[in-house]
Chain A
Amino acid sequence: MKPRLIALGDSALLIQFGDEIDPGVNQRVHELDALLNLDKPAGVVETVPAYATLLVHYDPLLLTYAETSDWVNAELDKVRSAASRKPRRIEIPVRYGGVSGPDLDFVASYHKLSVQEVLRIHTSHIYVVYMMGFTPGFAYMGKLDDPIATPRLETPRTKVPAGSVGIAGAQTGIYPIDSPGGWRIIGRTEVRLFDLAADPVFLFAPGDRVQFVMEALDA
């Protein structure tokens, strides 16, 4: 099925593959994203993959909406023939519970599971970086197995430390920098996700596969 193309203002084109969080839909977003970035015409500024959509930012002084959508439509015809790139897989060591993961006990009791069972589920899946946003380097990952999907805090914390690993609904993610946040924090990693002095600056890219590894469990 062809996605729907629609103008978002006069400088962006939204490609809608669906409107829900679904691994298959997200996969199609990343396939088209990779293809569009192989050879962008002058005037296409950048693309931003999200859960079920791909946003193409373009310079309206250089391209019209019709020219941009013609280009996207021509590329869409090539998607099926394009060999999909093998996604990168990144392991993230995590210190779970204790001061690193103040909400781990809540997540366990919310689901009537033991802490060990929550960890087993969280570390046994390979998650997909569906999209990035919120703060520089923040990766929205899923899809969490239903047994540990947990609603956000009712009142967000004013400061969540960098490296905190959290759960929000059926998503999991890591805070790249200290920031306010409402995700349930179950652990923390020492790995830097965003470092202006590093190369690459961002550890994750949309479409990456991520697996959490238990480094320690604090009481």
Chain B
Amino acid sequence: MLEVTEVSGLATVQDGGRAGWRRFGVPASGPMDVFAFRAANMLAGNNPDAAALEIGSGDLVLRAMYDCVIAVAGVGHNLSVSSWNYSPWSSCLVRSGWTIRLSQAGFGTWSYLALAGGIEVPGILGSRSTYLRGHFGGLEGRLLRSGDVLQKVRGVPPLIELAARSVAEEARPAYNAAPTVEVIPGPQTEHFDRQSMETFLSNPYKVSLSSDRMGYRFEGPRLELPRGADLTSEGLMAGAIQVPADGLPIVMMADCATAGGYPKIASVISADLPLLAQCTPGRDKVRFRSTTVEAAQQKFRKLMLKLKMGILSAEEDINFIVAGA
């Protein structure tokens, strides 16, 4: 068990997402940065889509109530366990009574903390993901608060195999504060004049402060919609870029509505959505570059394969931690 002793910012329980209910208007939810989320679970020896903690733009302090292994992956937080500092993208052994501290630092927004064995919260509509606007999923459909106790799912596999693992740096996406993210144009390209597509693909757009888990808004050159911004509502997913009448793009994120009625100029590809998610609203700028669906799918497969191959064990570190504990 882990007890939340301090929390600020957007801390929720998320799993791989809620599949099968979008036809009824229920968003998929799930992690903002699927790469870091899966990395944390894989480091902890869990199913890649198991429930884990997501912490965004804030700090999280936990106290272990039993000996366990945790893994942290993501960008924007420093990790300390008891009195030691650890680099994120690694797993470590935590003794009962020790404090785990994730504190906001430098570039980045979202980090994930996975507990070996997974976190036990009730499944709602087949998922443990928190949907804040719907007030369900995760821990009572809300943000974590101090005093919350997170239960582990089941017996933990042998600790020694899971502690002190890490994700090789070369296996991670090139997170940075001014990323170029690739997009697949369409499907409503005909709603925009030719100049607007060029404007969109050749200018930096700043992530607006009014961004959240539902969507990232942008500030930058406005796009022209000569035929108007009204579209008969149709299905949407994370990555889709809607452009309302004000001409400023909105990239739909994890809590994205199931359908929307604004023309979509393009969609951010799955492999680059983590780069965008980690941008800090109000500060970081993004450039969009066009690609094809075939290239995008290959890039995503390569990225997730690199993660699988990039999980490193460090025998020496394990021996040290166990002996020293």
A residues bordering B, Cβ < 8 Å?
Answer: 6-12, 14, 16, 19-21, 45-55, 57, 60-61, 64-66, 131-138, 140, 177, 196, 201-202, 205-206
Contact = CB atoms under 8 A, between A and B. Distances in A.
B259 A65 contact: no
Nearest to A51: B232
B73 interface: no
Contacts, number: 129
Contact of B233 (A46, A60, A140): A140
A7 B292 CA distance: 10
A158 to B, nearest CB: 14
Residue in A53, A133, A206 with the greatest tally of chain B CB atoms within 10 Å: A133
A10 B231 CA distance: 21
Given A9-B240, A12-B237, A133-B258, A64 B297 contact: yes
B283 interface: no
20 contacts: A7-B184, A8-B237, A9-B237, A9-B296, A10-B300, A11-B239, A12-B237, A52-B234, A53-B235, A54-B235, A55-B235, A60-B297, A60-B300, A60-B301, A61-B300, A131-B233, A132-B23, A134-B25, A136-B21, A196-B136
The 3 nearest A-B residue pairs measured at CB: A55-B235, A9-B267, A48-B235
A66 B24 CA distance: 27
A205 B24 CA distance: 7
Given A10-B184, A136-B24, A196-B136, A51 B294 contact: no
Contact of B267 (A10, A45, A133, A202): A10
A205 B257 CA distance: 17
Interface in B209-241: 231-237, 239-240
Interface string B229-257: 00111111101100000000000000001
A11 B24 CA distance: 19
B173 to A, nearest CB: 15
B154 to A, nearest CB: 25
Contacts of A51: 232-234
Nearest to B300: A60
Contacts of B267: 8-10
Contacts of A14: 187, 234-235
Contacts of A48: 22-23, 235, 258-259
Contact of A50 (B125, B234, B270): B234
Interface of B: 19-26, 124-125, 134, 136, 184, 186-187, 231-237, 239-240, 257-259, 264, 267-270, 293-294, 296-297, 300-301, 304
A46 B25 contact: no
A61 B25 contact: no
Given A9-B184, A11-B270, A64-B297, A136 B26 contact: yes
Given A6-B186, A201-B125, A20 B232 contact: yes
Contacts of B300: 10, 60-61
Nearest to B257: A133
A182 to B, nearest CB: 13
A50 B187 contact: no
B115 to A, nearest CB: 25
B25 A7 contact: no
Contacts of B234: 14, 50-53, 55
A53 B187 CA distance: 12
Given A45-B20, A53-B232, 10 more contacts: A10-B293, A20-B232, A46-B23, A48-B22, A48-B23, A51-B234, A55-B236, A64-B297, A140-B233, A205-B23
B259 A46 contact: no
Contacts of B269: 9-10
Contacts of A49: 23
A54 B234 CA distance: 8
B125 A135 contact: no
B25 to A, nearest CB: 5
A57 B300 CA distance: 16
Contacts of B304: 61
Contacts of B264: 8
A48 B20 CA distance: 9
Given A19-B232, A53-B234, A135-B134, A8 B240 contact: yes
Contacts of B296: 9-10, 60
Contact of B270 (A9, A65, A136): A9
A151 B257 CA distance: 23
